[in-house]
Amino acid sequence: MNAQSSSVSLNLSQSLRRPSVSSRISYAVSTAERGEGNNAPAQSQIEEEIAEIKRYEDFTTIDWVQDAAQERIRRNAQRRKAAGVYGHGKVSWRYRLWESYDAAQGWIVVTLIGAAIGLNAAFLNIVTEWLGDVKTGYCTTAFYLNENFCCWGEDNGCPNWHTWTGFEPANYFIYIMFATLFAFTAATLVKSFAPYAAGSGISEIKCIIAGFVMKGFLGFWTLLIKSLALPLAIGSGLSVGKEGPSVHYAVCTGNVISRLFAKYRRNASKTREILSACAAAGVAVAFGSPIGGVLFSLEEMSNHFPLKTLWRSYFCALVATAVLAAMNPFRTGQLVMFQVKYDRSWHLFETIPYIFIGIFGGLYGAFVIKWNLEVQSFRKKYLKDWAILEATLLAAGTAIICYPNAFLRIDMTESMEILFLECEGAEDYHGLCEQDRFWSNILSLTLATVIRVLLVIISYGCKVPAGIFVPSMAIGATFGRTVGVIMQGIYRANPDGMFFSACLPDEPCITPGTYAFLGAAAALSGIMHITVSVVVIMFELTGALTYILPTMIVVGVTKIVSELFGKGGIADRMIWFSGFPFLDNKEEHNFGVPVSTVMTGDVVAIPVHGMTLGAIEDLLKEPHYQGFPVVENVRTNILVGYIGKTELRYAIDRLRRDTTMAVNPQAKCNFSPPAVTSLMPMTPTVTINNADFSTSSASIDFSRYVDATPVAVHPRLPLETVMDMFRKIGPRVILIEHHGKLTGLVTVKDCLKYQFKVEAAVHPREEREMAKGHEKLWHVFEWRHPEVQAGSERATQLEEAHWKMAKIAVESSIDTIRRLVAEGKIQ
């Protein structure tokens, strides 16, 4: 937790004094209080250099304990600086201005980020609508206008909007061609320039906010390619949505802008506040729901959400939504296309179909999560080299299947807008409100539901920007509208029945659009396992206070059903599938084992004295170590502290860079932590007690880099408690000590490995059967699609693998026959 520096000074080495537990705690407090001493400029430069190195350490975790200590040191230094300025009596206006700017910097950053997110969302909405409509026709007055703008004020088209040809099969072919072209372009952009732009990004962002480092995932190129490829992916007609990726590009925007300010560039905890606020703004502009976005960030994205972050998230979502409203991309005053208003109430007897819709939402979420993970596993194993071809074929197949169905042909947001509307006083799309088309509407809506479910399972996860919010809502809307149409048909067949006695004679009794609305809420809750934020989002979409209770009933039933099939939505399951080091606070475990069962016992430790510089550098070459415990000596193994690999590597590199002569690899290294009772400023240094340090008698002192207060626990502490420490305190590593002696260490990955091992032992047969199914399916693709094998070395390798597998199978069969003959079971 110390700050680090590598300025070289000539001192006598200090005598070893191993601090006790109480002195370690007081040392941490005193370090934070004393701060940087008299070497603040050099200290600031060194901290910035180390932070820049850590920023590019890919797939590592942030130590929140150390990060918090550094932030306290920075604040104390600012307070002492202010005290010194005020102590001289006169304070310049420039200093007051700088002080005000530093205090307001967080709000300035959040404002800039919110405005940028709102502008980007408006641009994406406009482009997405045009790409979706250009597949079916064009506007003669202005080619860049979509159908709504071209036929402004008209309900069912206008003379200015033309289909591409008057021959329907030709239009069918053009529709497929555009869909395929859009998907091919999106997949090519993603693969060529920003592979991290693929998918939704919510799973990875949850891990990043929790402290996992993924280099480039929130970078400028990812933001640019995500913003360009997302409209193409949606316009291609793939069963994916833009609401999930909107969280990704919003967080990318926040990361790019906040990096322009040193306050956020140096401190990860400050950046975490900004990223949480950006996630809220991303959902806010996606659904036109600022409060729902804040609750989504609280419920789903962040495992650390203090009150200050809540206010920042609220303000960022407010600014982003206000900018989007000012841009008015749909020219209707609506923030999203499927925004709707209801002026009718509901009846108590409708609770029964509402419960049925809630059950569907839970079953839908469990079914899609299970089978989509199987598809993801198959894709990861067999299709990782065919990402562009896969996305292109998926788009072509989706266009071929969806064009004949009126509810699948149009964009999903447009279909939800149609399904949410009341029949009275609204446009009748393809006879949806006609009584004589009752059975055809039920058939069409049911087919749309089933086909969309299957397409979502195989499409979500392909290598284009792809979300699952809107596809799930569209599925729920078609199913809910089906239930509403059925309820309306039952009422029309028996309007005087006791069941419908609460209905007024002069008003429509059943509103099928509300059932579609509730079905969308149920499906969204079922796939993401979120509750409160869904209710608020749906309320902000409709503004109907009377439908809060039905929405709560539906979402509550969905939650109950979902919990029967396992905890965690598809974002949480994707984290598990990808193997990210993320401890979910939604799950409760009861392993019943101590932490010693999970810990790494064979630990490479550094003694306080006696290790040479060459041996230290050999350790640093090993890629498996992220840091080293410091012990009194290898015989007693008394724990003294901990030193990170990054800090040690930086100290050695800076030492070599700052010295004019070569340092002898046989020079002895000292890692004893500084005395707690020292009255000198705690300015970190690398000390050499021999001016001629090119000789082997030189001694290099790295003591100021040693963390004298690492998080350490007893070996018999329950594993569940250690996992809670990782979640709530956030250390990178926890050391295990018994009576002061180092016995091992444990990381988040060690805990997750044990958790996966326990879970895999529960259903081993099911996993083996799924793996066999994937292998059989790939064999079908190999033999029936020769283009997969054409003209490459991969084809030869696959063919050889087939023959080897066939040979093994034949040999296994022969061995089995021989064994059965020897046992006399066959003649």
Q: pLDDT tens digits for 105-129?
A: 889 999 999 999 999 999 998 899 8
Q: How much is the CA Rg of the chain, to the nearest whole Å?
A: 31
Task: List beta partners, residue 532.
Answer: none
Rounded Cα distance between 259 and 749, Å, is 29
Q: What are phi and psi of 293, to 5 degrees?
A: -65, -40
Does residue 6 carry a pLDDT above 50? no
More confidently predicted of 785 and 276 = 276
CB atoms within 10 A of CB 717: 16
Q: How far apart, in whole angstroms, are the C-alpha atoms of residue 809 and residue 511?
A: 61
Q: What is the sign, positive or negative, of the torsion defined by CA atoms of 181, 183, 184, 190?
A: positive
- For 680-705, the pLDDT digits (tens) are 333 344 555 554 555 556 778 888 78
- Give domain 106-138+165-327's CATH architecture: Orthogonal Bundle (1.10)
Rounded to an integer, the average pLDDT of 589-599 is 87
- Please tell me the distance from the alpha carbon of residue 90 to that of residue 95, in angstroms, as a whole number: 10
At 754, the pLDDT band (50, 70, 90 cuts) reads confident
CB 141 within 8 A of CB 150: yes
- Average pLDDT of span 457-464: 91
pLDDT top residue among 378 and 426: 378
Return the CATH fold of 348-577: Clc chloride channel (1.10.3080)
Q: What is the predicted pLDDT for the residue at 296? A: 93
Alpha helices in 711-763 (DSSP H): 719-728, 748-762
Helix (H, G, I), strand (E, B) or coil at 707: strand
CA dist 555 and 443 (Å) reads 26
The pLDDT value recorded for residue 112 is 95
User: 736 has which bridge partners?
Assistant: 713, 744
pTM: 0.79
Would the pLDDT of 85 be above 90? no
Residue 82: per-residue pLDDT = 64
Residue of 608 and 406 predicted with greater confidence: 608
Residue type, 482: T
Distances (CA, A) of 395 to 112, 306, 341: 36, 43, 34
Among the listed ranges 599-608, 641-650, 764-773, which one has the minimum average pLDDT value? 764-773
Q: In terms of residues, how long is the chain? A: 827
Q: Mean pLDDT across the stretch 712-718?
A: 92
**Is the pLDDT score of 538 beyond 80?**
yes
Contact (CB, 8 A) for 562 and 363? no
How far, in whole angstroms, is CA 350 from its chain's centroid? 37
DSSP at 297 = I
**461-479 pLDDT per residue, tens:** 899 998 899 999 999 999 9
Predicted local distance difference test score (pLDDT) of residue 510 = 86
**C-alpha to C-alpha distance for 619 and 604, rounded to whole angstroms:** 9
Going from the C-alpha of 134 to that of each of 137, 163, 168, the distances in angstroms are: 5, 9, 15
Q: Let me know: does 236 contact 395? Beta carbons within 8 Å.
A: yes
The answer to whether domain 1-46+73-86+588-746 and domain 348-577 are alike in fold is: no
Q: pLDDT band for position 321 (50/70/90)?
A: very high
d(CA 728, CA 731): 9
pLDDT-derived band at 154 (thresholds 50, 70, 90) equals confident
Give the domain ranges of the chain.
1-46+73-86+588-746, 106-138+165-327, 348-577, 761-822
Position 684 scores a pLDDT of 40
The tokens describing 637, both together, are 């193994």
Crossing angle (nearest 10°) for helices 351-382 and 548-563: 50
Query: What gap in Å lies between CA 822 and CA 40, rounded to an integer?
Result: 84
Q: Which helix (H) or strand (E) holds 7?
A: none
What was the pLDDT predicted at 30?
39
Percent pLDDT > 70 in the chain is: 77
| DSSP class per residue in 575-596 | HHHHT-----TT-------BGG
**Mean pLDDT, the chain, integer:** 79
Per-residue pLDDT reduced to its tens digit, 759-773? 777 665 555 555 556
198-209 per-position pLDDT tens digit = 988 899 999 888
Question: Could you give the CA distance from residue 713 to residue 735 in angstroms, rounded to a whole number?
Answer: 6
* Cα angle 452-488-517, degrees, rounded to a multiple of 5: 45
User: What per-residue confidence (pLDDT) applies to 763?
Assistant: 60
CA–CA distance, 181 with 660 (Å, rounded to integer): 61
**For residue 288, is pLDDT > 50?**
yes
Nearest CA among 703, 733, 282, 339 for reference residue 513: 339
Q: What are phi and psi of 741, to 5 degrees?
A: -95, 135
**DSSP per position, 236-247:** TT-S-BSHHHHH
* pLDDT beyond 50 at 188: yes
Dihedral angle, C-alpha 232, 462, 574, 307, nearest 10 °: -10
Under the banding of pLDDT at 50, 70 and 90, the label for residue 26 is very low
What percentage of the chain exceeds 90 in pLDDT?
30
Give the strand pairing for 712-713 and 699-701. Answer: unpaired
Residue 730's pLDDT band, with cuts at 50, 70 and 90, is confident
Four-residue CA torsion sign, 743, 749, 755, 756: negative
* CATH assignment of 1-46+73-86+588-746, among 3.90.226.10, 3.40.50.880, 3.10.580.10, 3.20.20.70: 3.10.580.10
- Res. 784 pLDDT band, cuts 50 70 90: very low
